[in-house]
Structure 1
Amino acid sequence: MHEQKELPSAQELQPSDQRAKLAITLVWIVMALNMLSLGSGYYSYQLLCQIEEGIEVPLDVASKSDLLELVIAIGYLVAFVISGVTFLRWFTRAYSNLKLRTPYTDHTMPWVWASWFVPIISAFRPFKIMSELYRRTSTLLSEAGADLQNRHTSAVLGWWWALWLVSNVVTNASLRYSMTAESVEELINVAIINLIDNAIGIPLAVITVKVIHDYAKLESRLFDIDQAVVIDDTMLPPNDTDPSEQPS
């Protein structure tokens, strides 16, 4: 049987709402760059199709198209890395707070971030950790008497993780194929794969924002309840009366 865990103090708990907002902002930036990449990629695809059909494409037009794609790709890569860092900072803070609130959790803190990078494990462990965050926090709110009007089911998390896995598969395929592509036909195939990858990235970004936002709301409600409990405790009058002196 697990021992009952005392309510963590305000000094122990660290709100993650600011980290959530920053992570959401970076995801929107990544999505914007992804949309730019989708547009420039489609333009390059059209140029390649013209070349395949024997239509002459001016060298300066092709060069400008390649340069535009390169600039957008670099910007996207930088934004994606920063976005990943901000997401992991929010993710680890949220799980750290959960560990302070519950008698036990399914994972240790090192695995919260390491699970994203270890082969095979990265295909399922982060999803389990996110699901645990939602499940246990919802349970804590229910036990505190909170009215959860909008139940956060596993459907949203399922779509989020499915899109993430598909996006990774398509991205890896694009990288491998682009390293060996030489003919116009092969370059067209690479362009198509990139367009698919960019197209997947848009709904993935939207649903990622929802996942972060929805959990941030759950955690914020839990913090409000904690603060209310602390305030109620401080307003209680001190009981200095010796029980032996009370009238029988």
Structure 2
Amino acid sequence: MNDLVAPSALRPVRTAARCAVAALALAGAAWVARALWQVRLSASGLPAYGLPDQGNGRHRPPTALEDAYHVVSTLGDVVTVLCAITFLVWLSRVRDNARALSGRPPRYAWPWVYAGWIVPVANLWVPRGIVADVHRASAPGERLPRSVNWWWGLWLAGMVSGVGLMYTSSTDNVIARAYENVQLLLVADAAVVGAALAAIFVVRDLTKAQQ
């Protein structure tokens, strides 16, 4: 089927892929920076005046190190949003191309390209399903790249840990976790960084299949 589709019928994806790869690399670096600051917080030890969140809506002034972590965390959030946008732009384009190549409608309707990440329970498999569907349509008969399963497994590990792109803990709560049990935070950070690196290979593999 691929040979029957004129190149002009396909949306250009190379630039979108490069942007997505760059954003994923930045996101991975941002989470490495968070991890380093969490190690520094743990090494410094809990201040004598207690955790940042004192309970009952009371917060003490942050230390210089805690203040720096807030900055690192905020910059990481900005990079993460940029990463999400560029990845979704790329995914939307390769999905459209996959439909043109196969001549069949995608398994998941277009709203799921976005809603699949935020709808509870469905977000456990829909995004991977969309990526797998794109690969099947772009390279029929070829085995799904291992990078897809590595990416999705690590993404789920980071998400359920509470510090992935879907995390809802406040920065002060993360700081408290760094003081109390930094090991679990670092394991979760490693999963997120690994997912970002694996996603780079996912982008490269699917883009290559459509060139």
CA–CA separation in structure 1 for the residues paired with 2:80 and 2:170: 21
1:132 matched to which residue of 2? 133
Matches within 5 A, 1:28-39: 28-39=25-36
Q: Is the 8 A contact 2:92 2:113 kept in 1?
A: yes
Q: Does the C-alpha gap of structure 1 residues 5 and 109 become closer, same or farther in structure 2, counting only changes over 3 Å?
A: farther
CA–CA separation in structure 2 for the residues paired with 1:160 and 1:207: 5
2:53 matched to which residue of 1? none
CA–CA separation in structure 2 for the residues paired with 1:33 and 1:26: 10
1:217 matched to which residue of 2? 208
1:12 matched to which residue of 2? 9
Q: Which of 4, 16, 24 is matched with 2:21 structurally?
A: 24
Alignment deviations for residues 145-179 of structure 1 (CA, whole Å, 9 cap, x no partner) = xxxxxx65353322211110110111259755977
CA–CA separation in structure 2 for the residues paired with 1:181 and 1:40: 11
Higher relative contact order (CA 8 A, sep 6+): 2
Q: What is the deviation of 1:135? A: 2.0
Letter of the 1:116 partner, please give it: W
Q: What is the deviation of 1:118? A: 1.5
Q: What is the deviation of 1:90? A: 0.2
Q: Is the 8 A contact 2:101 2:138 kept in 1?
A: no
Letter of the 2:79 partner, please give it: A
Matches within 5 A, 1:168-179: 168-171=159-162, 175-176=168-169
Q: Which of 153, 156, 165 is matched with 2:144 structurally?
A: 153
Q: Does 1:78 align with 2:69?
A: no
Gaps of 5+ in 1: 52-61, 143-150, 221-248
Letter of the 1:12 partner, please give it: A
Residue identity over aligned pairs, in percent, reads 19
The RMSD of aligned alpha carbons is 3.1
Q: Does 1:93 align with 2:93?
A: yes
Q: Does 1:68 align with 2:68?
A: yes
Q: Is the 8 A contact 1:167 1:200 kept in 2?
A: yes
Alignment deviations for residues 118-163 of structure 1 (CA, whole Å, 9 cap, x no partner) = 2211110111111111222111xx7xxxxxxxx6535332221111
2:108 matched to which residue of 1? 107
Q: Does the C-alpha gap of structure 1 residues 64 and 94 become closer, same or farther in structure 2, counting only changes over 3 Å?
A: same
Q: Does the C-alpha gap of structure 1 residues 72 and 172 become closer, same or farther in structure 2, counting only changes over 3 Å?
A: closer
Normalised by the length of structure 1, the TM-score is 0.69
Normalised by the length of structure 2, the TM-score is 0.79
CA–CA separation in structure 2 for the residues paired with 1:33 and 1:181: 15
Letter of the 1:189 partner, please give it: E
Q: Which has the larger radius of gyration?
A: 1
Q: Does the C-alpha gap of structure 1 residues 12 and 155 become closer, same or farther in structure 2, counting only changes over 3 Å?
A: closer
1:122 matched to which residue of 2? 123
CA–CA separation in structure 2 for the residues paired with 1:163 and 1:130: 15
Q: Does the C-alpha gap of structure 1 residues 130 and 19 become closer, same or farther in structure 2, counting only changes over 3 Å?
A: same
How many residue pairs align between the two structures? 196
Q: Is the 8 A contact 1:48 1:188 kept in 2?
A: yes
Alignment deviations for residues 64-111 of structure 1 (CA, whole Å, 9 cap, x no partner) = 211211111001000000100000000011001111122323222222
Q: Which of 182, 185, 194 is matched with 1:194 structurally?
A: 185
CA–CA separation in structure 1 for the residues paired with 2:172 and 2:122: 27
1:47 matched to which residue of 2? 44
Q: Match of 2:103, SS? A: coil
Q: Is the 8 A contact 2:2 2:102 kept in 1?
A: yes
